[in-house]
Structure 1
Amino acid sequence: MAPKLVPKVTSKGGESQCKEKRVVLLSPVGKLQISGCEMGLHEIKLPKMSVLPSGAESLAACEVCEGAEEMTEPLKQCTAWLHAYFCQPARTATLPLPAFHHPLLQQDSFTKEVLWTLLRDVEFGEVVSYKQLADLAGNSRAARAVGGAMRSNPIPIIIPCHRVIRSSGQSGNYGGGHLLKEWLLSHERLQKEKQQKLPH
């Protein structure tokens, strides 16, 4: 297993020259709107899915359909990582993660701690309950606060809040809606099974 790469979070010093760029990535689950600056990624906005994509759509090419001409380095890294996530998931372990430059990930807080813990410790194809994640982040009684942290996650998919489920095994809420969460979890399960069947 390749070492986990933890993206750097840039310091507060450069807030003023933060010129935000946006790109739209056409993915198997719809259009992902990604924003960021030279310093790092700000946000990934998920599409709301009303129906699950069929087999053909879910294999659709993953490509930037708007904003490609002025992508910053973090946006290039983000779109490359997401392309791998959807099309060749095994590659995500070796790709650099973009730096993050969202205010929520700049200040010290329990939310930031939870999001970093999730990114670092819960791998592709795994799931964790709100309570288990609270334990991992160092506060076993904060399962409800973990739910709040998931709701405010500015960089879904890369920070994989879809992998956090209820203790009962139900998938629970998700910013992109229930169908999208189910799709992401089943995509990861299937890809992980394929990986395990490959000869080592």
Structure 2
Amino acid sequence: LPGGAFPSTMASRLVPKVGSKQGGAPCRERSVVVLSPVGRIEVSGCETGVHEIKLPKMSQLPSGAESSVACEVCEGAEEMPEPLQQCTAWLRAYFCEPEATGTLPVPAFHHPLLQRDSFTRQVLWTLLKDVKFGEAVSYKQLADLAGNSRAARAVGGAMRSNPLPIIIPCHRVIRSSGDSGNYGGGQLLKEWLLSHEKLQKEKLA
């Protein structure tokens, strides 16, 4: 496809912006709107990496017709920097071909929270690396994995601060009771993502 478009089932729109994620020279930020089974997802980033993923708020579960939108092929945006190309390709695979996410490159990240040496960063990287598709961990279990078993509350704060939901899968962190718990995109979206992964994992088994 021309102009760096990706063969996708999602619609994209590029919006040039200028911003800085490091406090130094500003980077040229672009935003892509991804039409997914759960609604419009906005991904922003630059040539260096992805800045942020903004999820829609779900007020109701998508119908079968709405879910099928993720299977319509359309052209992507022109002049999309490589990290956004990789991010949108990864999101498409997550919703449509989950088995492919393990073979696709995770895009570079360009957000100060993921560049500073902190426990929050450690938690988010641990979550990305160790908690796989279709799995779930409690806040305490993730604290253990990140090296501080007493920091379950801090893990909750890290989940609220996560700038890259779905790719850094904070929806897979649940309460010890088994309840899904809070989520930036709302509880309905969190439950949909967990259900989607469980169903797809069963299909692949």
Alignment check: 8 A CA contact 1:29 1:49 kept: yes
Q: Shift of residue 59 of structure 1?
A: 2.6
What does residue 77 of structure 2 align with? 68
CA distance in 2, matches of 1:109, 1:169: 28
The TM-score, its normalising length taken from structure 2, stands at 0.86
Partner secondary structure for residue 123 of structure 1? coil
Alignment check: 8 A CA contact 1:26 1:62 kept: no
Counterpart mapping for 1:25-104 below 5 A: 25-61=34-70, 68-104=77-113
Q: 2:174 aligns with which of 159, 162, 165?
A: 165
What does residue 117 of structure 2 align with? 108
State, as a whole percentage, how many aligned pairs show the same letter: 80
CA distance in 2, matches of 1:13, 1:154: 15
User: Which structure 1 segments of 5+ residues have no match?
Assistant: 1-11
Is residue 132 from structure 1 mapped to residue 152 from structure 2 by the alignment?
Answer: no
Alignment check: 8 A CA contact 1:36 1:43 kept: yes
Partner secondary structure for residue 28 of structure 2? coil
User: Number of residues paired by the alignment?
Assistant: 185
CA distance in 1, matches of 2:192, 2:84: 24
What does residue 4 of structure 2 align with? none
Quick one: structure 1 residues 62 and 102, their matched pair in 2 at CA, closer, same or farther if it must change by over 3 Å?
A: farther
Quick one: structure 1 residues 22 and 106, their matched pair in 2 at CA, closer, same or farther if it must change by over 3 Å?
A: same
What does residue 7 of structure 2 align with? none
CA distance in 1, matches of 2:48, 2:187: 32
CA RMSD of aligned residues (A): 1.9
Q: Which amino acid aligns with 2:148?
A: N
The TM-score, its normalising length taken from structure 1, stands at 0.88
CA distance in 2, matches of 1:167, 1:64: 40
What does residue 151 of structure 1 align with? 160
CA distance in 2, matches of 1:125, 1:190: 8
Q: Shift of residue 69 of structure 1?
A: 1.9
What does residue 17 of structure 2 align with? none
Q: Shift of residue 55 of structure 1?
A: 2.1
Partner secondary structure for residue 97 of structure 1? coil
Is residue 23 from structure 1 mapped to residue 32 from structure 2 by the alignment?
Answer: yes
User: Which structure 2 segments of 5+ residues have no match?
Assistant: 1-20
Quick one: structure 1 residues 178 and 128, their matched pair in 2 at CA, closer, same or farther if it must change by over 3 Å?
A: same
